[in-house]
Copies of this chain bind each other. A is one copy, B any other.
Amino acid sequence: NHIIVCGYGRVGRQVVTELKQNKERFVVVETKQEIFNLNDVRGGIIPVYGDATKDEILKEAGIEKAKAVITTLPNDADNLYVVLSARELNPKVKIIARASRFPSVKKMRVAGASNVIMPDSLGGAHMALLVLNPDTVDFIDQLSIHKPNSPSLVEIDFNSRSESTSFGALKDLTADVTLLGVKKANGDILISPKEDLMVEKGEKLFAIANHDVVTEFKNQIAKI
> What is the interface of chain A, defined by CB distance below 8 A to chain B?
3, 9-15, 17-19, 22, 24, 67-68, 70, 72, 94, 96, 98, 100-101, 114-115, 117-136, 138-145, 150-155, 175, 178, 180-181, 183, 189, 191-192, 195, 204, 206, 208-209
Contact = CB atoms under 8 A, between A and B. Distances in A.
Chain copies in complex:
2
A68 B98 CA distance: 30
Given A123-B119, A124-B119, A129 B183 contact: no
Nearest to A11: B124
Given A128-B19, A132-B19, A191 B142 contact: yes
B155 A125 contact: no
Contacts of A206: 135-136, 139
B94 A131 contact: yes
15 contacts: A10-B120, A12-B124, A14-B121, A15-B125, A24-B131, A70-B128, A94-B131, A94-B134, A114-B130, A119-B123, A123-B123, A133-B154, A136-B155, A139-B189, A143-B180
